[in-house]
Amino acid sequence: MDPLTCSCKKREVALNGSNGAPELLRQLAGGVGPKSQRIRDFVESLRPHQRARCQLFHKFSLGEVRASGGLFRHYNEHMAKVASFDLDHTKVRAPYVRLADLKYTPGGEVISKWDLRVGQPNREVIGTGAMHTFEHLLAMKMRDHLEGIVDVSPMGCRTGFYAVIIGQPAPEAVMDAFAKALADVVAHEGPVPAANPLECGNYRDHDLEEAKFWSRHVLKKGLHVQETILIEGR
């Protein structure tokens, strides 16, 4: 097979046959230099918006390398690291929407994970009752404004939520759906859905008023799309 080069990458990556280890995988597995730099290079080379026109990745997703199992595993493992503990929480500016992770299924479908941040990390924190109320309301409300929502779950640090979405919508579309869902929370009247002993594991711990307070807070401040800022020197 002829070496395949990808035009969307800053440097050329040659793939010498489906069994050959492409330069990309070598860089991920080993590589020299600080980890953060390698991650940055990799993410740089496979930016989500570039993926659609990335011949190399497309080639992989068509199954040529699927059989050997390589790229998806490496990519998924690698992105998981980028997604969680390598985000510099001191440099982000809440409230925001951030693409936190992409996972590729063996069939080549993409699942995106979004960081919907309400409170400034280590400065603002949402009460447990309000978090719980958001959990009951947000997934339902966001589904009204965006297709493919699998789940919206509270972050353990209580500063925001993770949304898992089938496909990869534009950040602006996620941001718009989040803002509309928060406006729906503000407008919500009556009992919190499923806040009863039959359908909920801690039905007394809800706080619709505080959920409304944080929703107004976000809408007043205004959301923006936050890039992932990696922790330096890792």
Q: Are 149 and 142 in contact (CB under 8 A)?
A: yes
Separation between Cα atoms, residue 173 and residue 148, nearest integer Å: 12
Distance of alpha carbon 112 from the chain centroid: 5
Residue 141: CB minimum distance to Zn ion, A: 15
Smaller CB separation from Zn ion, 111 or 200: 200
Residue 1: CB minimum distance to Zn ion, A: 54
Which residue from 145, 149, 212 is spatially nearest to 182, judged by alpha carbons?
212
Residue 121: CB minimum distance to Zn ion, A: 24
Which residue from 133, 234, 141 is spatially nearest to 179, judged by alpha carbons?
141
Tell me if 173 contacts Zn ion by CB under 5 A.
Answer: no
Residue 165: CB minimum distance to Zn ion, A: 22
Which residue from 102, 205, 24 is spatially nearest to 15, judged by alpha carbons?
24
Separation between Cα atoms, residue 169 and residue 137, nearest integer Å: 21
Residue 136: CB minimum distance to Zn ion, A: 6
Smaller CB separation from Zn ion, 195 or 229: 195
Smaller CB separation from Zn ion, 108 or 193: 193
Smaller CB separation from Zn ion, 86 or 205: 205
Largest CA distance in the chain: 65
Residue with smallest beta-carbon separation from Zn ion: 200
How many residues form the binding site for Zn ion (CB under 5 A)? 1
Q: Are 160 and 115 in contact (CB under 8 A)?
A: yes
Which helix (H) or strand (E) is 177 found in, with range?
helix 171-187
Smaller CB separation from Zn ion, 204 or 220: 204
Question: In the range 64-103, which residues lie near Zn ion by CB under 5 A?
Answer: none
Question: In the range 101-160, which residues lie near Zn ion by CB under 5 A?
Answer: none
Residue 196: CB minimum distance to Zn ion, A: 9
Smaller CB separation from Zn ion, 150 or 200: 200
CB-based contacts of 68, cutoff 8 Å, min separation 6:
18, 19
Question: In the range 187-216, which residues lie near Zn ion by CB under 5 A?
Answer: 200
Q: Which residues bind Zn ion (CB under 5 A)?
A: 200
